[in-house]
């Protein structure tokens, strides 16, 4: 069989066969699917517009040569192409030919050409014959080692093959380091390419010095040169940012040694490992795909139709792996969970040690059908006592971190009477699905004796929302506003940047609305003003507004939530103590330290609350607040008292309505507005402000304090002192808790005594039927008498 020389033309989709083949005259200007090289310099080859592919008679090698500028006429009267890149070589083999055909199919789909002619199909047959020649075994018997006198053709051929690492290579991959040695240059490049695949970039071979020193560079190390051909329709797959990330390998004593490493990239890396397979250097055709492509060629299916078939298959089957890929994936899963459970075993040993040291410590595991541990939850005795006292509010934070096995880490947070964060427990979860969160919540409630919180705040997560609705439907649940708005800024960054002040107005509307009607009307005006009604994410924010906008939670007790517990407050517990990829044992160790810090801080706050604070005024109400509240809560109340001095008060209706006007600015006001109204009920002396701070945080606002000054109120009314913020609250609740525990213990003791007594009597008379009947009769009489006495007491 005679093998033609193939001339590529990317912009006209035309290839002409050399004059040596008479069949080329019949093809004329028709399109012949190009054979694309799949080497580490593939992207540069795509930019070479004037290259001619020459196939030797033996079919053993495919050479790509550069034609002089302006010398090559593509077709009679056709445009000439300029060439700026150097000569490249590519390897032989079915991998290269098949992948090149598939790449041409993809490029063909992007063009606007019509259906190919019969001559085009015949040209594909000739190309298929070339592919069959390439499927023949190669006679290359050169060794993998390289020498300084080598011509380099064998090495280039080896490095140019499609790269896809083995399971062992993926498992053992690590960042390159100076001093690493490899038997061959190919081994060095495979090692670095495997690291690149897992990190999120691709590798290409750069400059070399006498074939004894090679630069393995990031695929974006070059500089993009825009084409001057305005008629060009195919896109260049060449990206360049002059990235300096690279590895330098040098031949030394018959081994290739890494002598230089630079890890820093000047461009974003691929965000997910699964996407790296779309890099040109990492493209991979399974044996099934190669076979199917051959069938399509033999069946005279043109590239355009073949692309439609591949596109439909991949849309229907997604990334369905081959049988070999499935086996590798299964092995990876088994190995991954084997490692995870070795980490879990160490954690369980640590848990057992904690149980011996701390009698109140407990942990719970979630296992699957293979008894593999999937999720963990742990807490201690002090946390259970804290939840009994301060469990009216709970925060679940799943945004902070995961451990080295990608298990979401979820601390369960509360707040004590000093306004400090409490840690009720921690969980490392298998995933963020609803069933997993359901297990966590049910486990938490079981450990805490079944007590339900009044309010819960979480990040915006569909799984935890579904779990809370199913397990605790009666509990008030909201999303953290900071988390929602942060996501909105990320999702709508470009949209908002093109619309001027919409971002600032959106934040102002969310933060400063005092009524639901005010917010909803303001939202409608905002959307109309910026023509944003078609934005899907803004529509989602509107549909979920009752789950996160503060104005819908004015009557709910959420404990300074916008500034303390959720968001930054939770992360402060872990940011300086736990790294995102730490082992489970490290999480447990830091959990112990954090609990110790919480106890230490609480003891310091208790001692400080017993001292006399510094006052900013001579008002009696300030001193009264200092003697009632814990020190940290008093400082918040004192700030409101201080802010009240920046307000003027005007009586609107005699003794029942007052308007507060801000006459001086102060730092960090909760609402960016200058006027508020306070209503007063004459009969009950109840004060109600528009800002609703008392119902939200449990302390009075500066507006009501200013009215107190106007009316001469010198002490905070008892109805506006929330017990959980007072000095004595924890001690009083601890005393009640101990009494309940003693009562439970006494009940258990009496139960055990009666059970033992009854068991002894039953053992002695069970052999005598008459005595047993008499005893049972007496028990019935005693039970009836006790019931009668109980009814008499209830009537009294």
The pLDDT value recorded for residue 759 is 87
Question: Is the per-residue pLDDT at 585 higher than 60?
Answer: yes
CB under 8 Å to 210, separation ≥6 — which residues?
Answer: 148
Write the pLDDT tens digit of every residue in 291-350.
776 777 667 676 667 666 766 665 554 444 445 554 555 555 555 544 545 677 888 888
The pLDDT value recorded for residue 138 is 37
Question: Is the per-residue pLDDT at 113 higher than 90?
Answer: no
Question: Is the per-residue pLDDT at 775 higher than 80?
Answer: yes
User: Distance between CA 327 and CA 352 in Å, rounded?
Assistant: 37
The pLDDT value recorded for residue 645 is 95
Cβ atoms of 291 and 298 within 8 Å: the answer is no
The pLDDT value recorded for residue 590 is 80
CB under 8 Å to 616, separation ≥6 — which residues?
Answer: 622, 638, 641, 642
User: Distance between CA 696 and CA 562 in Å, rounded?
Assistant: 10
Of the candidates 314, 283, 301, which has an alpha carbon nearest to the alpha carbon of residue 96?
A: 283
Whole-number average pLDDT of the chain: 74
Question: Is the per-residue pLDDT at 675 higher than 90?
Answer: yes
Q: DSSP of 533-574, one letter per residue?
A: TT-HHHHHHHHTGGGT-GGGGTTS--TTTTTSIIIIIHHHHH
The pLDDT value recorded for residue 539 is 93
Label residue 384 by pLDDT band (50, 70, 90): very high
Write the pLDDT tens digit of every residue in 619-649.
999 999 999 999 999 999 999 999 999 999 9
The pLDDT value recorded for residue 639 is 95
Top-confidence residue, 158 or 488: 488
The pLDDT value recorded for residue 574 is 59
Least reliable range by pLDDT among 36-50, 167-181, 400-414: 36-50
Label residue 371 by pLDDT band (50, 70, 90): confident
The pLDDT value recorded for residue 205 is 84
The pLDDT value recorded for residue 125 is 42
What tokens appear for 722 in the block?
Answer: 């929330």
Q: What is the mean pLDDT of residues 264-282?
A: 60
Question: Is the per-residue pLDDT at 701 higher than 70?
Answer: yes
Distances in Å between the Cα of 132 and the Cα atoms of 21, 95, 608 are 19, 12, 86
Cβ atoms of 409 and 376 within 8 Å: the answer is no
- Provide the whole-model pTM: 0.56
Question: Is the per-residue pLDDT at 786 higher than 80?
Answer: yes
Q: What is the mean pLDDT of residues 46-72?
A: 37
The pLDDT value recorded for residue 565 is 43
Cβ atoms within 10 Å of 44's Cβ, excluding its own: 21
User: Distance between CA 790 and CA 785 in Å, rounded?
Assistant: 9
Least reliable range by pLDDT among 149-163, 473-487, 685-699: 149-163
Question: Is the per-residue pLDDT at 45 higher than 50?
Answer: no
Question: Is the per-residue pLDDT at 586 higher than 50?
Answer: yes
Number of C-alpha atoms within 13 angstroms, CB side, residue 716? 28
What tokens appear for 693 in the block?
Answer: 């701070």
Q: Hunting for tokens 């060009």 — which residue is that?
A: 232
Write the pLDDT tens digit of every residue in 488-514.
988 888 888 888 889 899 999 999 999
Of the candidates 566, 565, 560, which has an alpha carbon nearest to the alpha carbon of residue 697?
A: 560
């Amino acid at each position: 069989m005679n093998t033609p020389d193939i001339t590529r033309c990317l912009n006209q989709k035309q290839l002409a066969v050399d004059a040596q083949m008479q069949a080329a005259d019949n093809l004329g200007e028709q399109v012949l699917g190009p054979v694309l090289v799949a080497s580490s310099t593939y992207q540069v080859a795509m930019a070479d517009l004037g290259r001619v592919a020459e196939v030797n008679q033996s079919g053993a090698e495919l050479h790509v040569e550069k034609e002089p500028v302006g010398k090559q006429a593509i077709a009679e009267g056709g445009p000439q192409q300029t060439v700026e890149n150097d000569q490249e070589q590519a390897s032989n083999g079915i991998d290269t030919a098949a992948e090149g055909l598939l790449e041409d199919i993809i490029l063909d789909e992007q063009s606007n050409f019509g259906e190919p002619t019969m001559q085009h199909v015949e040209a594909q047959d000739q190309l298929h014959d070339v592919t069959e020649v390439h499927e023949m075994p190669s006679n290359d018997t050169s060794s993998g080692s390289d020498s300084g006198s080598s011509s380099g053709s064998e090495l280039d051929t080896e490095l140019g093959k499609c790269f896809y690492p083995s399971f062992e290579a993926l498992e053992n991959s690590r960042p390159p380091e100076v001093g690493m040695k490899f038997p061959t240059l190919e081994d060095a490049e495979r090692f670095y390419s495997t690291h690149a695949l897992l990190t999120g970039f691709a590798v290409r071979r750069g400059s070399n010095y006498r074939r004894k020193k090679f630069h393995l560079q990031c695929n974006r190390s070059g500089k993009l040169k825009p084409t001057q051909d305005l008629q060009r329709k195919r896109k260049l797959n060449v990206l360049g940012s002059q990235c300096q990330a690279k590895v330098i390998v040098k031949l030394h004593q018959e081994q290739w040694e890494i002598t230089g490493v630079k890890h820093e990239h000047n461009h974003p890396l691929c965000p997910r490992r699964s996407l790296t397979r779309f890099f040109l250097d990492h493209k991979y055709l399974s044996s099934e795909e190669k076979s199917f492509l051959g069938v399509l060629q033999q069946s005279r299916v043109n590239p355009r139709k073949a692309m439609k078939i591949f596109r439909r298959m991949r849309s229907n089957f997604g990334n369905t792996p081959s049988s070999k890929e499935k086996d590798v994936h299964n092995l990876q899963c088994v190995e991954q969970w084997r490692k995870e459970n070795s980490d879990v075993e160490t954690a369980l040993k640590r848990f057992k040690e904690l149980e011996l040291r701390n009698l109140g410590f407990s942990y719970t595991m979630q296992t699957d059908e293979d008894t593999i541990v999937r999720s963990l939850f742990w807490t201690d005795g002090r946390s259970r006592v804290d939840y009994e006292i301060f469990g009216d509010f709970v925060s679940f934070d799943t945004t902070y971190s995961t451990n080295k096995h990608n298990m979401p880490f979820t601390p369960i947070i509360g707040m004590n009477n000093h306004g400090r964060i409490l840690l009720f427990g921690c969980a490392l979860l298998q995933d963020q699905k609803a069933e997993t969160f359901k297990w966590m919540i049910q486990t938490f409630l079981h450990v805490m004796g079944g007590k339900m919180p009044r309010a819960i705040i979480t990040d915006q997560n569909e799984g935890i929302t579904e779990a809370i609705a199913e397990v605790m439907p009666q509990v008030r649940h909201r999303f953290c506003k900071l988390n929602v708005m942060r996501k909105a800024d990320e999702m709508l960054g470009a949209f908002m940047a093109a619309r001027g002040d919409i971002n600032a107005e959106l934040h102002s509307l969310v933060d400063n609305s005092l009524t639901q009607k005010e917010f909803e009307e303001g939202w409608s005006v905002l959307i109309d003003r910026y023509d944003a009604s078609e934005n899907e994410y803004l529509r989602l924010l509107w549909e979920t507004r009752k789950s996160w906008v503060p104005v819908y939670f004015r009557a709910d007790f959420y404990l300074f939530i916008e500034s303390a517990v959720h968001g930054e407050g939770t992360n402060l517990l872990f940011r300086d103590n736990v790294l995102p990829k730490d082992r489970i044992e490290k999480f447990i160790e830091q959990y112990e330290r954090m609990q110790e810090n919480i106890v230490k801080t609480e003891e310091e706050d208790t001692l400080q609350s017993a001292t006399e604070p510094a006052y900013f005024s001579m008002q009696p109400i300030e001193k009264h607040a200092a003697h009632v509240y814990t020190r940290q809560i008093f400082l918040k109340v004192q700030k409101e008292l201080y802010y009240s001095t920046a307000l003027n008060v005007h009586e609107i209706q005699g003794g029942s309505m007052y308007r507060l006007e801000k006459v001086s600015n102060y730092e960090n006001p909760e609402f960016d507005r200058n006027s508020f109204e306070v209503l007063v009920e004459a009969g009950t002396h109840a004060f109600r402000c528009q800002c609703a701070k008392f119902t939200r945080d449990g302390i009075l606002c500066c507006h009501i304090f200013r009215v107190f000054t106007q009316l001469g109120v010198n002490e905070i009314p008892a109805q506006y002192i929330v017990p959980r913020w007072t000095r004595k609250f924890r001690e009083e609740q601890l005393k009640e808790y101990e009494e309940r525990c003693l009562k439970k213990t006494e009940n258990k003791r009496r139960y055990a005594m009666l059970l033992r007594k009854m068991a002894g009597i039953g053992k002695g008379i069970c052999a005598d039927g008459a005595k047993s009947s008499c005893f049972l009769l007496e028990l019935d009489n005693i039970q009836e008498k006790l019931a009668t006495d109980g009814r008499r007491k209830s009537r009294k």
